[in-house]
Structure 1
């Protein structure tokens, strides 16, 4: 029996190659949308899409990887591994699977969480024709979160200031201020942008072009960075009391929600579930974020701060890059066999629940 840890890649280029090879070997339909930029070694970037099952299926499971680029190792390992393992050979009648591999390929290749324009894709689905959400906490902390220097003295000083904010307002308030989303500082963290990014437009186009026939859809979006090491938290991005949240509670066990404080995630704005709902407005859609824990929250946040400094103020391929990239990778892709196996087991369990629910709905 193949060790599931072997399905997880060491680079974006390897992840893409393995996914495409697995799709071809499985004989499934494969499409590709080329990204206009290149990776750090000049490699081509793209979002690849595999369709498994009948094209006219009215019940559809969609999996998405690399919404936050570097987190793509997790979802890609599940997606490519599922094809290699033949997990979708015997789908229930009338059910199909759509795999969106690396929706943010630039972030994946460059070991960044954000897109090529420093936008957090999971904050980029706000209504840009309306006033954008405010984040007063971030406004108060931007220069502390994203200093123009990244030396030991600055790191220590700014970390102490962030802890001072947490002591005054609570750790939850600090997490909300930093990660909730902001639309003012284009050089900052968790920036939602001023309009749709390439990845935003690509996801919208793919969903509209591939899913018009589906009437019942489950979406699983793979993420890392929050919660206990290796644990996959099933988060429903829809608020309690909505039909989508009720279905998630019915179809999956241990569902959490940022809205009621039960999740490791703070409440967020401009998340991709809004874009998914708009693109799939014709269907009944149930959305799950599968969030895998890696390292302690403050270490994760600090890795993002260092990476932001590297790309905004320094040279992302210079001598200073290696330790910073190693740290952000550690915080979003631990890449240990036990972690990868935990990711795989929880993903297979969750996808099987989704397929069963679709078959019975």
Structure 2
């Protein structure tokens, strides 16, 4: 694809991304379904939905899944990858000729995509929400950091910065990162909140899998994320269950020896419990399932600081400076997860195409 063709696959906002996805899916002859998030409008008043496009037959034994927008604001990248696939007639024919069905799940978190939040309409981080709620996420270390990470004043005062630095000096960088990012269920207005029950997106994703994947024998899932790693590089992170070396070997057999596993300590991402791809192991026990989070690096900036600022805006919407800072904070969060540059978009689309082709070749007849 030319730079212009690739650029046109990506969008400036959720409404545009949704329209492009639906149009491309219709053009490709996909079966379309729409799961509406009722009663909650988008940032521009638009309807919010998770849209699903299926290419291939319902009885195909092999299924490749490409999903976007688990972390809403990261959907700018994932949506572009999906639209690029729908315009890629050669790759679509490769899948069709090998008897591989393709399932594209667009904007798993439509609220976050539209409102430029990483979290959903209930401030839930969806990659912490797919857990057994009889055993909720307990992270006592976060309690001591909650008010430090989301202070009443933004930008933080020098006193706040010193307090965070003192915590890191006392406990170490790794312990600090684990305390903040592991997930927690006690502070509903906090960072990396897991929720206390399955979210709308959780229930919707499981319904999609039950409808379209419950009879498949082999499933390969690519879940697109951004914000970690070198700019433009797509790190392939094992998205199977933690501590499953046999599944990791299967995953590497499809996507290569450079698939990394957070539970082995060789990924830019820390190990978390409750990620969305894990739903396939619950809903499709009949299948041999593998998955990766395709994590693309963005420009060198501190994504954590952008997240803190946006969460501050959510926690203190009536703060004296909230209104004047809102546009800049939202812009910074978008920039933390999406690079508005043709070279970056080309790198992203190319690597995603390679991962899709690898999956189709591995699962095909």
Common fold: TM-score over 0.5: yes
Shift of 1:319: 3.2
2:25 match: 23
Deviates more, 1:97-106 or 1:31-40: 31-40
CA–CA separation in structure 1 for the residues paired with 2:151 and 2:22: 40
Q: Distance in 2 between matches of 1:60 and 1:318?
A: 46
Equivalent-residue separation in structure 2 for 1:282 and 1:275 (angstroms):
13
- Cα shift at 1:177: 1.6
Residue-by-residue CA offset, 1:156-190 (whole Å, 9 max, x unaligned): 43333323323333322222221111111101000
CA displacement 1:300-349 (0-9 Å, x = unmatched): 00111110111121169943210100110110112211211111111111
1:85 and 2:88 aligned: yes
CA distance in structure 2 between the aligned counterparts of 1:55 and 1:155, rounded to whole angstroms: 57
Corresponding residue number in structure 2 for 1:214: 216
Tell me the CA shift for residue 85 of structure 1.
2.8
Give the deviation of 1:279 after TM superposition.
1.3
CA distance in 2, matches of 1:177, 1:47: 31
Cα distance, 1:90 vs structure 2:
3.3
Q: What is the distance in 1 between the residues matched to 2:177 and 2:21?
A: 34
Following superposition of structure 1 onto structure 2, how do residues 59-98 of structure 1 map, counting pairs within 5 Å? 59-86=62-89, 87-91=91-95, 92-98=97-103
Aligned partner of 1:246 in structure 2 is 249
SS in 2 for 1:7: coil
Q: 1:103 aligns with which of 84, 108, 114?
A: 108
For 1:256, what is the secondary structure of its paired residue?
coil
Q: Say if 2:310 and 2:329, in contact at 8 Å, map to a contact too.
A: yes
Residue pair 1:315, 1:321 contacting (<8 A) in 2 also: no
Q: Which residue of 1 aligns with 2:141?
A: 137
Change (3 A) 1:339 1:162: farther
What number of residue pairs does the alignment pair up? 356
Kept in 1, the 8 Å contact 2:277–2:291? The answer is yes
Q: Is the 1:162–1:174 contact (alpha carbons within 8 Å) kept by the matching residues of 2?
A: no
What's 2:239 paired with? Answer: 237
Over the residues paired in the alignment, what is the CA RMSD in angstroms? 1.7
Q: Which residue in the other structure is 1:147 paired with?
A: 151
Tell me which residue corresponds to 1:52.
55
Contact 1:7 1:78 in 2 (8 A): yes
Distance in 1 (alpha carbons) for counterparts of 2:299 and 2:148: 22
Question: Aligned partners of 1:90, 1:354: CA distance in 2, in Å?
Answer: 11
* Cα 1:178/1:155, change in 2 over 3 Å: farther
The CA deviation string for residues 203-254 of structure 1, in whole angstroms up to 9 with x for no partner, is 0001001112211000111101111111100000333543321101222220
Q: Which is worse superposed, 100-109 or 280-289?
A: 280-289
Aligned partners of 1:295, 1:160: CA distance in 2, in Å?
Answer: 26
Unaligned runs of 5+ in 1: none
Indicate the residue corresponding to 2:260 in structure 1.
Answer: 256
Contact 1:138 1:178 in 2 (8 A): yes
Match of 1:2 in 2: 2
Q: 1:274 to 1:187 in 2, by over 3 A?
A: same
Q: Is the 8 A contact 2:94 2:360 kept in 1?
A: no
Whole-angstrom CA distance in 1 between matches of 2:121 and 2:49 = 13
What is the aligned partner in structure 2 of residue 356 from structure 1? 361
Gaps of 5+ in 2: none
- Looking at structure 2, the residues matched to 300 and 160 of structure 1 have their Cα atoms a distance apart, in angstroms, of 19
Equivalent of 2:174, from 172, 175, 179? 172
Specify the alignment match of 1:281 in structure 2: 285
